[in-house]
Structures are given as C-alpha cells and as structure tokens.
C-alpha cells in the first residue's frame, strides 16, 4: 500500500475527470517509473501553467495571456463570433480546423434547475462585443440539449438590436455515424435541421 507523498499523488490524480482510484494508481506508478522523462517535465508544465493561466477578458477563453492568442491573431476573421458554452467546445471547434473567426465562451448554459441565469454567464459581454466590434455574424454553437436550446433562444432575443446575422450550428449526424448509435436528441435535431437535396 502506498504511503505519504505517493498516496497524496494518487489521491489528487483520482480527482481528474475520467480517472477513478484504480486508474489513478496505474497513472501514479507510470509516473514514478518515468520520473525524469515524464514526471518531472509534467510537474514543471503544471507549475508553469498554474502560475500563468488566465481568462481572456474579451472572449472568456483560457490562455496564459490576456487577451488570448486567438483574440490577438491578426489572421482571424473579426467579423464572425462563434458562441460556445465551455472552453472545451472552443477546443473542439479548433480541432476541426474549419473555423477562422473569433469566439465567445459563455461559461455554461442557462439552467433553471441549477440556478444558472443570464448574470452567471458572459452574456452582457457578448452583447457589447456584437454591438461595438465590427461583427457581421454570430454563430450560436450551444449544445443540442434542452438548456442549450433555451440559451440559444435567449441569446437571439438579446442580440436582436445588435445588427448582426445570427446562425445556428446544424446539430446532426456525425460523418460516418449510423443512426442506430445516436441518441434520440441527436436524431431529432438532425431531422429538424434537414435541408432539401
């Protein structure tokens, strides 16, 4: 049975999403075996990132500088803002590499059940940006959940005076996805977003 610092390490690793106590022990053992090639570089990266991470005051992205690298990138199209719920959604959009505009991270979605109202999200900042910046289109990419849809409708109401075109991501069938493996919500959303061919 692990003792002292190692036990503490396992306890902390077990708090990471996707890692339970069992996989935390495996990860800890792997780190201990790769002390110089993995554990020490990881420790340095964690410390440096923890010291410098901040929230972009313009778009809500997480980065080590404010404004973030995306906001400052002169190659990005400043006439388009894609509104997402979380930084993880921004990362997913960036991975797809098809989008070259700016972002706005809400920090969640409206939820009556969880007591998340408009003031808990970065909505006022979005309205200001859509009004004051040279924005032509706001792409609302909130999730296809009920709360995500509610948030999208709320944003449409709030942005109605901002003189921007508002669009929604078509939530649909993933490329190569078989309908059988999709949940009902995804199929319904894909059906509702259907286009003439």
Q: Out of 9, 13, 71, 164, which residue is the one contacting Zn ion (CB under 5 A)? A: 71
Please report the DSSP string for 82-148 in residue order: EEESSHHHHHHHHHHT---EEEEE-SS--BTTTTB-GGGTTHHHHHHHHHHS---EEEE---SSHHH
Binding part of the chain for Zn ion, among 38-46, 67-75, 162-170, 187-195 by CB under 5 A, reads 67-75
DSSP strand pairing (137-140 vs 165-168)? parallel
Q: How many residues touch Zn ion (CB under 5 A)? A: 7
Residue 90 engages Zn ion in binding (rule: CB under 5 A): no
DSSP strand pairing (54-55 vs 62-63)? antiparallel
Residue 141 engages Zn ion in binding (rule: CB under 5 A): no
Residue 58 engages Zn ion in binding (rule: CB under 5 A): yes
Binding part of the chain for Zn ion, among 19-27, 69-77, 119-127, 148-156 by CB under 5 A, reads 69-77
Residue 151 engages Zn ion in binding (rule: CB under 5 A): no
Residue 56 engages Zn ion in binding (rule: CB under 5 A): yes
């Amino acid at each position: 049975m692990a003792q002292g610092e190692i036990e503490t390490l396992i306890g902390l690793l077990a708090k990471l999403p996707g890692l339970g106590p069992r996989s935390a022990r495996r990860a800890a053992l792997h780190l201990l075996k790769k002390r110089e090639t993995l554990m020490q570089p990881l420790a340095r990266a964690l410390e440096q990132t923890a010291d410098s991470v901040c929230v972009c005051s313009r778009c809500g992205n997480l980065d080590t500088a404010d404004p973030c690298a995306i906001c400052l990138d002169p190659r990005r199209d400043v006439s388009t803002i894609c509104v997402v719920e979380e930084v993880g959604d921004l990362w997913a959009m960036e991975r797809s590499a098809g989008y070259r505009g700016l972002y706005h991270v809400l920090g969640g979605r409206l939820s009556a059940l969880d007591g998340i109202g408009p003031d808990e999200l970065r909505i006022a900042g979005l309205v200001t940006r859509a009004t004051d910046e040279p924005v032509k289109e706001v792409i609302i990419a909130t999730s296809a959940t009920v709360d995500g849809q509610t948030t999208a409708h709320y944003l449409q109401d709030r942005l109605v005076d901002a003189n921007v075109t508002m669009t929604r991501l078509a939530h649909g069938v993933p490329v190569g996805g078989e309908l059988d493996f999709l949940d009902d919500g995804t199929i319904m959303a894909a059906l509702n977003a259907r286009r003439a061919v």
